[in-house]
């Protein structure tokens, strides 16, 4: 039995279609062969998924929960500086792990093969204000299918930033850097509002009833999230007279998580070297073409194992975009082979340390503020 990936598109391309410039040197046959190689790579990981991988994700989850418990416990004494620092630090790390290595990846279905209802894309809810279901739609269904296709992939600038030359300039875009700087510390709200798809509603592709439902779900999620971090935790800390300090701590932890997530996610597709595409370019796209687009449209972050863990292995953005539903702990080994394939086919493989990639993404934010 074979699982058919939903993005399998028609074979055969209309004659004379322009390939993305980074792949212009490849013949159709080469692209087809490349597709086969990547399919085989995917199959080889699927064939060896097993108990070790299951133990990995459970270990990460247990670590995350221990950190979260310990962090909140320390915040009960937040008026003492060491407790505040330890508590805020542990809670921040817990939130980052929860959103990135656990939440993002579970919601992609990377662990569905285990058939564990406690770690499954259909049951998971994450410690993030946007409800999991709403995010799964805009992220998994839309962004991962239409990656970097200007006009189709709403993630190109998230409907508020101008992130591509092909997006028409308006004076509003002068604020690009300001908007981005303001977005970072409240990133989870940026995503939550983005997931409402207000632009789709305005253009009549989303009904009023659908928007209503989305707002209700978001409201319910927000109440719970806010009650936990901004009411329950400070209230419990009030017993030791630490309410105000605990509130400052949870605000700090959420903001720090937001800034980190924003930075990592902006390194995924915006640094120099990551291509964008036009709608005409993807017409009649084959499976091989799709793979090529994912590779040359994404950028990695190089770094230590801890770095990869804290980015939820989105530091392997290229591998993640090729195989969004393979377990994240396997991307490192996949990367070795993908890189080799890119070299052999003379395709760019964009990667760099975090500071360099962040700077590169910010440079684009500044440059595209101007026409």
- Note the residues at the interface with other proteins (CB under 8 A): 1-4, 6, 49-55, 62, 65-66, 68-69, 72, 109, 112-118, 120, 122-123, 125-127, 141, 221, 224-225, 227-228, 231-233, 236
CB of 85 to other proteins, least distance (A): 21
Closer residue to other proteins in complex, CB, 138/233 = 233
CB of 112 to other proteins, least distance (A): 3
Give the Cα separation of 221 and 226 in Å (integer).
9
Burial class (CB in 10 A: 0-12, 13-18, 19+), 257: buried
CB of 4 to other proteins, least distance (A): 4
Closer residue to other proteins in complex, CB, 129/368 = 129
Give the Cα separation of 85 and 87 in Å (integer).
6
Give the Cα separation of 50 and 3 in Å (integer).
18
Closer residue to other proteins in complex, CB, 110/148 = 110
Check if the beta carbon of residue 263 is closer than 8 Å to that of residue 354.
Answer: yes
Closer residue to other proteins in complex, CB, 1/29 = 1
- The tally of CA atoms less than 13 A away on the side-chain side of residue 349 is 17
From residue 301, how far is each of 226, 268, 271, 337, 352 by CA, in Å?
A: 32, 8, 10, 16, 5
Closer residue to other proteins in complex, CB, 127/285 = 127
CB of 236 to other proteins, least distance (A): 8
Closer residue to other proteins in complex, CB, 41/119 = 119
CB of 211 to other proteins, least distance (A): 22
Residue 285 structure tokens: 């796209």
CB contact set of 306 (below 8 Å; sequence gap of 6+): none
CB of 229 to other proteins, least distance (A): 10
With CA atoms as reference, report the closest residue to 265 among 363, 160, 135, 354: 354
Closer residue to other proteins in complex, CB, 178/227 = 227
Check if the beta carbon of residue 257 is closer than 8 Å to that of residue 274.
Answer: no
CB of 52 to other proteins, least distance (A): 8
With CA atoms as reference, report the closest residue to 291 among 341, 357, 350, 344: 341
């Amino acid at each position: 039995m074979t699982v058919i990936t939903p993005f399998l598109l028609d074979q055969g391309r209309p004659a004379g279609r322009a390939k993305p410039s980074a792949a212009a040197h490849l013949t159709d046959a080469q692209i087809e062969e490349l597709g086969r190689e990547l399919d085989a790579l995917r199959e080889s990981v699927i064939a060896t998924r097993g108990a070790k991988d299951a133990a990995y994700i459970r270990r990460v989850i247990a670590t995350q929960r221990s950190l979260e418990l310990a962090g909140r416990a320390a915040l009960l004494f937040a008026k003492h500086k060491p407790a505040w620092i330890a508590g805020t630090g542990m809670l921040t790390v817990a939130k980052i792990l929860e959103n990135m290595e656990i939440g993002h990846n579970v919601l992609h279905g990377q662990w569905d093969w285990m058939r564990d209802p406690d770690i499954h894309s259909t049951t998971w809810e994450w410690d993030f204000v946007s409800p999991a279901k709403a995010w799964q739609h805009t992220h998994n269904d839309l962004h991962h299918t239409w990656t970097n296709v200007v006009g189709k992939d709403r993630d190109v600038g998230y409907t508020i930033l101008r992130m591509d030359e092909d997006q028409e300039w308006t004076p509003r875009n002068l604020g690009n850097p300001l908007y981005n700087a303001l977005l970072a510390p409240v990133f989870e709200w940026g995503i939550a509002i983005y997931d409402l798809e207000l632009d789709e509603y305005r253009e009549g592709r989303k009904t009023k009833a659908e928007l209503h439902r989305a707002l209700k779900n978001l409201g319910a999620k927000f109440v719970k999230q806010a009650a936990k971090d901004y009411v329950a935790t400070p209230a419990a800390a009030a017993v030791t007279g630490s309410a105000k300090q605990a509130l400052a701590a949870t605000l700090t932890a959420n903001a720090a998580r937001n800034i980190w997530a924003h930075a990592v996610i902006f390194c995924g597709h915006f640094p120099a070297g990551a291509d964008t595409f036009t709608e005409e370019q993807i017409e009649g796209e084959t499976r091989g073409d799709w793979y090529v687009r994912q590779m040359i449209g994404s950028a990695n972050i190089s770094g230590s194992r801890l770095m990869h863990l804290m980015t939820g292995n989105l530091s392997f953005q290229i591998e993640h975009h090729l195989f969004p539903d393979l377990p994240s702990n396997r991307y490192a080994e996949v990367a070795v082979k993908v890189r080799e394939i890119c070299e052999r086919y003379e395709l760019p493989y964009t990667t760099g340390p975090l500071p360099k990639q962040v700077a590169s993404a910010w440079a684009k934010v500044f440059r595209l503020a101007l026409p």
